[in-house]
Amino acid sequence: MITFAARQRQTLPMDITQAEFVSSFTRESVCPKDGRPEFAFIGRSNVGKSSLINMLTGKKGLAKVSGTPGKTQLLNFFLINRQWYLVDLPGYGYARVSKDQQKTLSAMINGYLLNRSQLLLAFVLIDSNIPPTKIDLEFVNHLGGHGIPFALAFTKTDRLKPNELERNIQAFLTEMRKSWDNLPPYFVTSAQYRAGRTEILDYIDQILKNRAS
């Protein structure tokens, strides 16, 4: 399937032994100031973000799962292993909120992504069940244009046959290649089968260790 450099390391993979909700914030300027590194998770509304976060942390119900798009409307901070923050950002795209609220959410997201010095990486979640969407491509290009490091996490992969999954992933990457010389790392995930958990946590661990060295 897809290989990752993290798999080749001989050290034990990272695991999450502690995960606790800290608080929710309305803007970047009031977020925690303790200097801990942060990894953000964001995607189009209803992409399966909460399910992925719960799977990664091993705590069912840590992030609230809802069938209604747009339920996350704040910057939600979770402290992981008392060492770093997992930040659950509002979804972009369709949500059952007013246009004014959509503008507020967009400003909140951009304020965090563009100004947060503690942010080491954003994981952009992409629904593997659908062809590439304009809004997803625009968002990753937005991150790239501002030099914000990110990786892709393809979600809901258990719903497709292997050939269909590979076709959709490659279609998205092909669209990215029209604007990108070098593609970001990407991970294939399934909250139901815990696929991609070790790879993502190992990648986070690699980034943290590189930062500390």
Q: pLDDT tens digits, residue range 83-117?
A: 999 999 998 876 666 788 888 999 999 999 999 99
Q: What is the mean pLDDT of residues 64-76?
A: 69
Q: pTM for this structure?
A: 0.91
Higher-pLDDT residue of 152, 65? 152
Output the pLDDT for position 185.
98
Measured in whole angstroms, the distance separating CA 42 from the mean position of its chain's CA atoms is 5
E runs forming strands in 8-149: 19-25, 38-43, 75-80, 84-88, 119-127
| Domain-wise residue ranges, the chain | 5-212
Helix then strand then coil, in percent of the chain rounded to 5, is: 40, 20, 40
Tell me phi and psi for residue 60, to 5 degrees. Answer: -65, 125
Tell me phi and psi for residue 106, to 5 degrees. Answer: -60, -40
Output the pLDDT for position 7.
40
Tell me phi and psi for residue 97, to 5 degrees. Answer: -135, 165
Q: Give the H/E segment covering residue 2.
A: none
Looking at domain 5-212, which of 3.40.50.150, 3.30.470.10, 3.40.50.1970, 3.40.50.300 is its CATH number? 3.40.50.300
- C-alpha pair distances (Å), 50 with each of 47, 66, 89, 164, 213: 9, 8, 10, 24, 32
Output the pLDDT for position 13.
65
DSSP state of 12: P
Which pair of structure tokens corresponds to residue 38? 């942060």
Indicate whether 17 pLDDT > 60. Answer: yes
Which pair of structure tokens corresponds to residue 79? 């402290």
What confidence tens digit (pLDDT) does each residue in 28-45 have? 999 999 999 999 999 998
